[in-house]
Chain A
Amino acid sequence: MRIASRSYIDNLSYGLARASQTLQRLSIQLSSAKRVTKASDDPVGVGEILRRHADLAAAISRQRTIHAGLRTAGAGDAALDDIGVGLGKISTLIIQANNSSTPAPALRAIANEVRSVAGKIRDDANTSVAGRYLFAGLLDQTMPFVEGPPGTITYQGDSSEQNVPVAPGRTTPVTIAGDYLLNFEDAGGERAIAGLDKDAFTVLEETAQAIEDKQLTELEQLSEEVELLRDHAVQCRAKMGVYVQRLQAAENVAKDHEVETRRMLGESEDVDIAQAVLELKSVELTYQAALLAVGQVAQLPTLFEVAYR
């Protein structure tokens, strides 16, 4: 085929343009470490990548909420432990007091200690984390246990539990309602502990009073009630333990999901460096060959130069 002089240059310029486009694509891939930098690089892959990014964001967000739940549940668990310890201490004090030979001043001192421990239990039950009272149900901005009429404590919260999302469409409670924990009447007038028709603070105040008054028979009965409260506190802690386990399991699932999503995302999104470098080398050679060809063609003499030297 006859080749026009203009075609030499046009052809070389066409080839150079193509090679430089490929060079640019590969250098962008290598510099960004991403196989796909714009939607048209791999349209199907882009859909997949965006879905995986959404999954990854969801997994990370889920871990954050679960972690917040674990912080709340952890603080609740510690408070419940303290409440259980306090009730145990009161049981010990009742045993000390339940002795006919104990002198009145000593009984007064024990009664005061019972009241002090009851105050500590109240403080534990009013624990708050990040401005939210743990045992106030959903009325978590209000201190749940406050002084009522002299010698009584009233409950200001409700009977709900605070929830955190742990999986799509699934939540787990991270608190225990204060009325349930300390045997206050709920909205329906029911109490958590069967057979105990008093709240914990009433039992503790009656205990202190019975010790002070050396009412040993009554103290026997109150000792059983304190034991009921103590058992219930242990049950509540166990319940909280179950919540924590659920949260930890959900956190593990979310973590695994994150790791797996990152792996899959890497496969779809990240450039295979070795392959890209090899491809770049190959395209570089093509490009250099094209440049060399341009150089050679530029130096080629025409017949004019030979014939009319």
Chain B
Amino acid sequence: MSMRLLDIAKTALSAHRAAINIVGHNVANAQTPGYVRQRPVLQAIPGAADGSLEGSGIGGGVEIANVQQLRNEFLGMQLDQQTALLGEEESLLEALQRVEGLLTDLGGGGVAGALADFYDAWDDLATMPTSLAARTEVLQRGEVLCDAITKRQENLNSVRGKLDLQLSDKVEHINRLSAEVAQINEKIGAVASVAVKNDLMSQREQAVRELARLCGAEGIKQDRDIMDVVVGGQRLVQQSTVMSLEIALDPAHPGFHTVVFADNGEEIPRYGELAGMLEARDEYIVSYQSRMDELAKAIADEVNTIHQAGYDLDGNTALDFFSYNPAAPASTLQLSADVLDNPKAIAAAATTSAEGDGDNAIAIGDLRYSKVLMGATYTIEEYNADLVSDIGGDVRAVQARFDSRDQLVNNIQLSYEAVSGVSLDEEAIELIRYQQAYSAAARMVTLSLQMLDEIMQLGK
């Protein structure tokens, strides 16, 4: 009888010590990202079924039947989906903010400042058409304007280039995480301990969430706690096999790359941060560059048209002021060879052999009032203001979407943590609970030893 009690106490000591260990594990991981709290599932050990005196239908103590992870699968899925969208908006926002940072027009510089100074220089030349200083000033302001336009275009290209470079980092990161998920799948398949499996699943969940953010991946549970990872319906991880990604030249955007599956070269569906980066690179920035081309072409063509009709100090006419490559006006805008380093070649006069004639300079200065773009509804300066305003509008719109998504993700995260996160107070209560049970079991051991001792005394 006493031996039986000793056995029962032993199971209690063992089960509650394990339970206390689980609480300790929870407390230790209270701030570990992605950790899902665990609970021991205690279960009474049933009595012997044969109805023997030893068993007599009385139970045999307690055991830990399972170590349960507390998670809400639906919230986890929602968190992954929203994290993917947040990743897309965050990377798009980051890229657009980089573009916005390039615009110095508000501080009086940039293309806006250069345009104003350029027109001013022509106005000044109009009042002193023979002045070499005024002519040199026109050339310098023209150069500054070309620099401002080409620099902005170059900077936009550079942002595109950096986004392109970042693709390979992202791909490397995705491949590393995919390999981690595959490795965990393999371990989970091989390990028998539930507790070990739980920790591995927590790690895998964290990796899949990171993949969701990077490329919109979703985890799909399979048998034996294995999880496959898919992106837009295509497998990225299948059990312990990884479908690696790599970058390849993007046929739609020469000189830039896209992300493809290494084995079949198929482009990965665009989600998550990758989607945001590619959207910024191939849509937003391309559209800004195209508008910069329009602007550069307009200023060059309009100035050249008037300039060609005028006369320089030597009576020459049909001279260009600007030149550009029609395939890429904003990147190639420069002073024409006709006027470069030759201030006398500026056609300030509207009539020949009249060096004091500044009427052509007046006409070019007056271009600031001419509506020559967007179907003759915008001046060149207005068009530039509109472009800057639109870039700001894009940043603001994406920022608003990001803020609202961030709030949503934060709320889902809170709800998710409410189920899966560790509460130290709650763990302390659990600790007290198991500690008390452990103490009681220890008392039972003492009591059964006392009982044994008394029986032994009877025999003396």
Q: A residues bordering B, Cβ < 8 Å?
A: 1-7, 9-11, 14, 34, 36-44, 46-51, 53-54, 57-58, 60-62, 64-65, 68-69, 72, 130-132, 136-141, 158, 160, 162-165, 168-169, 171, 302-304, 307-308
Contacts and interface: CB of A to CB of B under 8 A. Distances in A.
Interface string B88-120: 000000000100110101101000100111011
The 5 A-B pairs with the shortest beta carbon distances in the complex, nearest first, are: A4-B421, A39-B392, A47-B389, A140-B356, A303-B428
Nearest to A166: B362
B123 A54 contact: no
A53 B108 contact: yes
A69 B390 CA distance: 40
Given A51-B382, A164-B358, 7 more contacts: A7-B418, A9-B31, A46-B389, A54-B116, A58-B119, A61-B120, A68-B124
A165 B126 contact: yes
Contact of B112 (A10, A50, A65): A50
Contacts of B30: 4-6
Contacts of B205: none
A58 B386 CA distance: 18
A175 to B, nearest CB: 9
B421 A43 contact: no
B423 A163 contact: no
Given A44-B389, A47-B388, A62 B123 contact: yes
A302 B106 contact: no
Contact of B386 (A38, A47, A64): A47
24 contacts: A1-B415, A4-B30, A4-B423, A5-B421, A6-B30, A7-B421, A10-B417, A11-B410, A43-B389, A44-B389, A47-B386, A50-B105, A54-B116, A54-B381, A54-B382, A54-B385, A57-B117, A61-B365, A69-B127, A139-B355, A158-B354, A160-B354, A302-B428, A304-B424
Contact of B392 (A46, A53, A138): A46
B40 to A, nearest CB: 19
A6 B33 CA distance: 9
Interface in B228-246: none
Contacts of B116: 53-54, 57-58, 61
A43 B399 CA distance: 13
Given A39-B395, A62-B123, A141 B388 contact: no
B356 A136 contact: yes
A52 B316 CA distance: 37
Contacts of B425: 5, 302-303
B417 A6 contact: yes
B384 interface: yes
A64 B124 contact: yes
Contact of A39 (B27, B103, B413, B427): B103
A43 B396 contact: yes
A290 to B, nearest CB: 15
B366 interface: yes
A142 to B, nearest CB: 8
B126 A40 contact: no
Contacts of A169: 366, 369
